[in-house]
A and B are shown apart, each in its own frame.
Chain A
Amino acid sequence: MLSNIAFYGALETGLIYGLVAFGIYLSFRVLDFPDLTVDGSFPLGAAVAAMLIISGWNPWLATGAAILAGMAAGAVTALLNVKLKILNLLASILTMIALYSINLRIMGRPNVALLMEDTVLTPWYELGLEYHQVPVLLFTLVIGVSLFLLWRFMKSETGLAMRATGANARMARAQGIATGGMIILGVAVSNGLVGLAGALFAQSQGAADVTMGVGVIVIGLASLIGGEAVITPTSVFRALLACVVGAIIYRLAIAFALNADALGLKAQDLNLITAVLVTLAIVLPGARVSLMNKFKRRKA
């Protein structure tokens, strides 16, 4: 079984990756824009927040700046696609690669520690909760507010226009929607959320590292697809909820896999486990349907 610390740790990272899953839901699902920028905007958010906190900024302001930095990165990807007509996937890879250098420039070195600094978590430790419950409480609040705002946005006139852009761009244009502008806005917001996740991750882990973005896209996708397998996304609200649930389930599954001694898995197997989980999450819902069909046919 999981220890208490491992359990809360999984919840904590799960909640952070829930924000990443929101971002990926926006780009992959709403806009149908496969965006790999997140592998760069996650450490970008971490780097910006870490450097600003070290230089004495209020940690919430630093986190806000990280969101803006993420949005700028997303806007660059979208502009490469919309204005320069570069294939969306390729545009995002270009930004991702560029961000690797930019992140090194921002930090001036491969990693920055935040061990003795005040973070957004610091005041919450004085509430008298158990040490490892504090981040879970704060991040639950953050993701709850984000979920509510995103849900309201998706229901707004602009949000609806964005959903139409991804679903049927020709129809959207015929309804007077500037589809290019919607893509720029959507990918920017998506990466803003990922920047926020990066900033929170750095503050809860006590460091920003230039390599911390590797595979963020896969983890986000795993959370998104896994969540959709558990909660059928028949509405925007359910789709957003699926992102959070998927991210938490994913982190718990990883924690279980690494803790079960019988399996003999070690930390270095993480990416392999992720790939297997994503494959299962993609294949299983379909397999379930075909199995049920076979069962029904046999009965008939």
Chain B
Amino acid sequence: MITATDLRLTFGEGTPLENPALRGMSLTVNQGEFVTVIGSNGAGKSTFLNALAGEVLVDSGKILVDNIDVTKLPTHKRTSRVARVFQDPLAGTCEGLSIEENLALAIKRGKRRGLGTAVKKQYLERFRSSLATLGLGLENRLTDKMGLLSGGQRQAVSLLMASLTPSSILLLDEHTAALDPKTASFVLELTQNIIAEQKLTALMVTHSMKQALEVGTRTVMLHQGEVVFDIAGKDREGLEVKDLLNLFEQQRGLTVDDDSLLLG
């Protein structure tokens, strides 16, 4: 379970480029939920994910993962609980290392690393069987360099790496956005399968409202660093993109009014 309470973060505070990215963001994600996060550019989606992962530290607020306060912990100290797949397919893996070496890095995520051989023989069978589930034939290419793989293949492996060891939450940062449509749907399907099979708790940022409604169990919309609406269960069933836009208009209407007051 993840509990974020009143997160606030301003980039470049006190400068002309001051940018309040998070303005009192609060969200609780329960065990086993698959939350999709939408919002326009600059809504704070990526910052929120980075704050959960530890890549940025918030100015104020509290982040609890499984009731443990991680607010001040750097990224590498959160990884025993937080797994992540990046938007850039090249960012989640090391191209200079082989496929098995990348997986060996992931199998030790959040654990102590010693002087024993990294790619142990007893891992190989597990690597092969997990790679086989991708259906890309990668199980026969364990010693190939990661750089030889396509973006889609690398993103699929990134996903596998994130789910190789248990985590309290899986963060997916628009992880299909940089892929071609066919590969994107393959990776999305893979995501759903892995999350369902391993009963993972996940938070997926997406640009596509359609995708946000089709995938997952709950949808959250962010705007200007806050949660504007949060729908799950019955309310979410049968909802279409235009309903979502209406919801957004209703919410944003208030701020537009505020703006017109100011401008008027």
Residue positions of A touching B, CB distance < 8 A:
153, 155-161, 163-164, 167-168, 170-179
Q: Is the CB of A176 within 8 A of B76?
A: yes
Give the number of chain B interface residues (Cβ < 8 Å).
Answer: 34
Indicate if the CB atoms of B75 and A160 lie closer than 8 Å: no
Question: Is there a chain A Cβ closer than 8 Å to B94's Cβ?
Answer: yes
A167 pairs with B94, CB closer than 8 A: yes
Contact between chains at B115 and A153 (CB < 8 Å): yes
Q: Residues of A contacting B114 with CB < 8 Å? A: 156-158
B96 close to A (CB within 8 Å): yes
Q: With A155-B118, A179-B76 in contact, do A174 and B92 touch (Cβ < 8 Å)?
A: yes
Contacts of B106 in A (CB 8 A): 175
Q: A155-B118, A156-B116, A161-B105 are in contact. Are A176 and B111 (CB under 8 A)?
A: yes
The CA-CA distance from A168 to B114 in the complex, in Å, is 20
List chain A residues, Cβ under 8 A from B77: 176
Is B115 a contact partner of A156 (Cβ separation < 8 A)?
yes
> What is the interface of chain B, defined by CB distance below 8 A to chain A?
53, 55, 74-77, 79-80, 83-84, 86, 91-97, 101, 104-106, 108-111, 113-119, 161
Report how far A173 CA is from B110 CA in the complex, Å.
Answer: 10
A162–chain B nearest beta-carbon distance, Å: 10
Q: Find out whether the CB atom of A170 lies under 8 angstroms from the CB atom of B118.
A: no
B110 touches A176 (CB 8 A): yes
Tell me if B's interface is mostly helix, strand, loop or mixed: loop
Shortest distance in angstroms between A89's beta carbon and chain B's nearest beta carbon?
22
Report A83 CB to chain B, min CB distance, Å: 13
Given contacts A164-B94, A164-B97, A164-B105, contact A175 B117 (CB under 8 A): no
Distance between Cα atoms of A156 and B101 in the complex (Å) = 10
B151 to chain A, nearest CB (A): 15
CA distance A174 to B77 in the complex (A): 9
List, in ascending order, chain B residues with CB within 8 A of A159's CB. 118
How far is B175's CA from A174's CA once the two chains are assembled, in angstroms?
Answer: 15
Smallest beta-carbon distance A168→chain B, Å: 5
Complex formed: what's the CA distance from A175 to B83 in Å? 8
Nearest residue (CB) in A for B143 is A235
Residues from chain A with a CB closer than 8 A to the CB of B76 are 173, 176-179
Residue among B97, B108, B109 making CB contact with A167, cutoff 8 Å = B97
